[in-house]
Amino acid sequence: MGDHRVAVVTGASRGIGRAVATALAGAGHAVVVGYAGNEAAAKEVVDRIAATGGRAVAARADVADENAVAALFDTATEAFGGVDVVVNSAGRMALSPIADLDLADLDALHRTNIRGTFVVAREAARRVRPGGAIVLVSTSILGLQFPGYGAYAASKGAVEAMTLILAREMRGRDITVNTVAPGPTATELFLEGKDEATVEHLAKQPPLERLGTPADIAGVVAFLAGPGGRWVNGQVLRANGGIV
């Protein structure tokens, strides 16, 4: 399953998506590094993969734009011959009590996290080859239910709601569909706006007494995308060190 597998990873220019792209490349996948706007960061990921003997290309796409996403998959087919693994790591976060939330922020969350996930999943359902895997990304906030995360959690709840349904719709095609729900993970997106005391408090919550790392999450995704994960299907895996 190694050398000829091709992965499309959205949100791959930074954070968890970047770690996923490099992990899949390390497992033998050719990788399309999808990014929203930071071309330089995406190129760094491609160069890093190439430096270790892997194959990768960068492609810009707004995940909520169905034409851009179709073009992203076209890039995978033109560069590497098809698509076997799709990981939708692109996401947006906005924190606010529900009473105070700017509805423009709610619309932006909906567009990226719900519509974007749906558009990528729809294209994946049309294109992924037999033996392939679709991996979506949610959040362990759905279980933790911290104040301030209402809109974000609601958007990711939609992702979890479609997981088993899409897995069942793939019946007969030998394609798995799962969602990974990270807990607090040391990414720029997570750390932004949090003081040291808050970060320290969150790091002490899991029995393992640390924040997750992008590599921790990437390892779970690589498992689901690889031969060892073939019998895991329609599941939401809470990768959070035991915090919930």
| Token representation of residue 13 | 């220019």
CA 135/CA 148 separation, integer angstroms: 26
- Taking every pair of Cα atoms in the chain, the longest distance, rounded to a whole number of angstroms, is 51
| Residue listed under structure tokens 């921790």 | 216
Task: Give how far Cα 211 sits from Cα of 84, 167, 200, Å.
Answer: 31, 30, 9
Q: Can you say whether the dihedral through the CA atoms of 207, 212, 215, 217 is positive or negative?
A: positive
CA 52/CA 64 separation, integer angstroms: 32
| Token representation of residue 140 | 């362990």
- Look up 152 and say whether it is catalytic: yes
CA 151/CA 211 separation, integer angstroms: 23
| Token representation of residue 182 | 């990270």
Write down the catalytic residue from 149, 152, 190, 223: 152
CA 171/CA 242 separation, integer angstroms: 32
Which of 217, 43, 34 shows the shortest CA–CA distance to 139?
217
Residues known to be catalytic:
152
